[in-house]
Structure 1
Amino acid sequence: MSRSKALQSYILVRLLLAPLMLLTIATLVFLLLRATPGDPADAILGSRAPEAAKAALRSQLGLDAPLWQQYLDYLKSLLGFDLGSSLTSRGLSVWEVIKEYFPATVELTFCSMVIAIVLGIGVGIVSATLPGTWLDIGGRLFGIITYSLPLFWVGMVLQLIFAVRLGWFPLGTRFPVNAAAPPSMTGLYIIDSAIAGNWAMLGNTLYYLALPSITLGVLLSGIFERIVRVNLRQTLKADYVEAARARGISEPTILIAHAFKNALIPVITVLGLTFAALLSGAVLTEVTFSWPGLGNRLYEAISLRDYPTVQGIMVFFGIIVVIASILIDIINAFIDPRIRY
């Protein structure tokens, strides 16, 4: 079988397996939510509410039906792309909740990833090309420390220092509360400010993004530093690199045109999965920084036993991860001709 046909077959299999993966995610979310202690009626109405009111709310939400019936109704709604209505967001649908909060998560994730990529790859290249030097030792220490430090602890320490003590950065919002937000076109304040040509708004947006995105970006950069350093060191020892040196090709040309391209293949895989994981696992980051994104909204929904919101957001995140993993495999297959399926 030719490479192109094998690749087409692989992509087709992945696409056919995607619905099964999403069904597994949706089923696990459904079962785990109902296995956790707590009653949505108590969370919404309060523990002192009359039992009749609680029973009426359970009936309205369909929680008095058998579990299998709830599950079938849930799958039927998903097949119709209906994620239900939030119980705690003024009657908004879950899609409207996602539309309202997801742009903040995208903005934080994108800015953090840019910082992580630039810093991590830069330190990794320096460390790999200067083995045994103090720059290499410093790069390795940087990667180990940033990779191992817990985000919530670093986030709280930096907030105490730079926001509370020094007052250099704001907390808990995307934009000044006493100023009008950028006109809502995409929901992304950076893009909306740029489209409107309002550079003061753009400056405010970046200012409010600075502390959480720098913190998250620096901690994530350790992942890329370690991967780039290890793979680039191995690539620089490869036979084709030695052959290039024997032909008199300069070291910068060898690094950029030969070694770095091949060393980037595992970085692309980690980059895609990390980006998807940040989008779908933003709870810890956003709760730590009180960032008004979808991860923070998910945490609130879990606390209040808002079943439709939790289920809808988790399925939405699952779709992102599944799509990202398929795209990464396809990109790697086109970049690296050695990959066979």
Structure 2
Amino acid sequence: MNWFRYLLRRLGQYVVVLFGVSLIIFVISRLSGDPVALMVGMDAPEELRESIRSDLGLDEPLIVQYALFMRDAIVLNFGESISMAPGEPAGQLVLSRVVPTIQLTAVAVFFAFGIGVPVGVISAIRQGEYADIGGMTFALLGQSVPSFWVGLMLILFVAVPIDFFPLAGAGSIRHLLLPGLTLSFFMMASIARLTRSNLADVLDEEFVKTARSKGISDLRVYGSHALRNAFIPVLTYAGVQIAYLFGGAVITEQIFAYPGMGRLAIQAIYSRDFPVIQAVVFFAAIMVIIVNFTIDLLYLKLDPRISYGGDR
């Protein structure tokens, strides 16, 4: 029953978020200009333009237009592409790019945790030693350099001299490695610093000293006791950063000519294809909501003191 109430409460919050996103999309699309002028041009006869407005419902009051927009958005119908792929449903066009973006984000998250957490753990265990200094220097650099510079350096010094790494495109795991590393660089460095900071604090706690006094191995102390408690703030930060990865993918996908949602969004903005832009924003919001919900469930797994009903 607690699980059911928790699920309903979270779903209710997500519905409110999607409602706010849809309202923002609707308002911005109406403030950005007349979509009919983009479809037929400024020189088209007024009769033709009025006919198209009537077909699209643009001659209705704004509240009616919003109701029609929400009705279509519920079934992921955002109209047809105006300029990028005229006549093709914008929702289907974005859906074809969702999977590549999810794959790229998954690889970036794998790099961020697979490298950032071990670096942070080693730095916390070896505080003040060369391993700690080297790990935190790497973390500082990772948080200082922009992602586009990292991508360009990887292309120049890795992809160009080594044929194994493709310069652009998609289709295999090799196409994901360099873009994924580029996208994960800032998050990787941040996770390393946060893991080091939290784990160093937890290692000074009494329950860790007690576990050591009982003769429990260091591996079990670090893994089962210390790291599990230190990992909750890291997971919180990661949930926020994964949401930002969808936005950061715009730059990375442009650099590597990767056919994902970010590159599609840039192309749609340049061509003023508003149905496609609306679909990209809506799908991105759904993906962020799924990530946040997954993080909430992981909290419950890591910390049994967190209850579904909110009671301790």
Deviates more, 1:27-36 or 1:222-231: 27-36
- Residue number in structure 1 paired with 2:306: 339
The answer to which of 38-47 and 249-258 deviates more is 38-47
Aligned residues of 2:183 and 2:245 also touching (Cα < 8 A):
no
What residue number does 2:105 align with? 109
Native 8 Å contact 1:119 1:221 kept in 2: yes
Partner of 1:260: 227
Tell me if 1:282 matches 2:249. Answer: yes
Question: Could you tell me how far apart the structure 2 residues matched to 1:111 and 1:68 are?
Answer: 42
Matching residue's letter, 2:123:
S
Change in CA separation of 1:63 and 1:148 when aligned onto 2, cut-off 3 Å: farther
| 2:86 is the alignment partner of 1:86 | no
Shift of 1:69: 3.4
Relative distance call for 1:239 and 1:70 in structure 2 (3 A) is same
Alignment CA distance shift 1:131-1:322 (3 Å):
same
Q: Deviations over 1:250-290 (max 9, x none)?
A: 32221122111222222333334433442465322212322
What is the CA–CA distance in structure 1 between the aligned matches of 2:162 and 2:131, rounded to whole Å? 33
* One-letter identity of the residue aligned with 2:142: T
Q: For the residues of structure 1 that align with 2:113 and 2:247, how far apart are their CA atoms?
A: 19
Distance (whole Å) between structure 2 residues aligned to residue 226 and residue 46 of structure 1: 53
CA offsets 1:4-45 (integer angstroms, 9 cap, x no match): 73x653432222222111100111122123334x55455555
Hey, what's the Cα distance between the residues in 2 that align with 1:23 and 1:125?
41
Q: Distance in 2 between matches of 1:296 and 1:20?
A: 28
Cα separation, 2, equivalents of 1:283 and 1:293: 8
Partners of 1:268 and 1:328 within 8 A in 2: yes
Q: 1:152 to 1:64 in 2, by over 3 A?
A: farther
CA distance in 2, matches of 1:65, 1:301: 26
How far, CA to CA, are the matches of 2:158 and 2:250 in structure 1? Answer: 22
Alignment partners' CA distance in 1, 2:176 and 2:304: 39
- The alpha-carbon distance between structure 1 residues 8 and 238, as it changes in their structure 2 partners (threshold 3 A), is farther
Aligned equivalents of 2:134, 2:41: Cα separation in 1: 54
Structure 1 residue 77 and structure 2 residue 46: aligned? no
Is this contact kept in 2: 1:143–1:226, CA < 8 A? Answer: yes
1:237 aligned residue: 204
The 2-side partners of 1:278 and 1:25 are apart by: 18
User: Partners of 2:193 and 2:287 in 1: how far apart?
Assistant: 26
Structure-1 separation of matches of 2:178 and 2:207:
43
Q: What does 1:148-297 align with in structure 2 at a 5 Å threshold?
A: 148-163=144-159, 166=161, 168=163, 169-175=165-171, 205-279=172-246, 282-297=249-264
Per the alignment, in what secondary structure is the counterpart of residue 33 of structure 1? helix
Q: The residue matched to 1:92 in structure 2 has which SS?
A: coil
2:76–2:91 Cα contact (<8 Å) kept: no
Measured in 1, the distance between the counterparts of 2:112 and 2:149 equals 19
- 1:128 offset after TM fit, Å? 0.6
**What percentage of aligned pairs have identical amino acids?**
34
Would you say the 8 A contact 2:147–2:185 is kept in 1? Answer: no
Contact 1:280/1:320, CA 8 A, preserved across alignment: no
- Answer yes or no: is 1:19 the counterpart of 2:6: no
Q: How many residues align?
A: 305
Match of 1:307 in 2: 274
Q: In the TM superposition, what whole-angstrom CA distance separates every residue of 1:215-268 from its partner, at most 9, and x where no partner exists?
A: 223332112112211111111111100111222223222112211122222233
**Other structure's SS at 1:282 match:** helix
User: Which consecutive residues of structure 1, in runs of 5 or more, have no partner in the other structure?
Assistant: 176-204
Gap regions ≥5 residues in structure 2: none
For 1:17 and 1:311, locate their aligned partners in 2 and report how far apart those are by CA, in whole Å: 21
Alpha-carbon contact 1:151-1:285 (below 8 Å) kept: yes
1:146 and 2:113 are equivalent in the alignment: no
Report how far residue 55 of structure 1 moved: 5.9
Query: TM-score, with normalisation over the residues of structure 1?
Result: 0.79
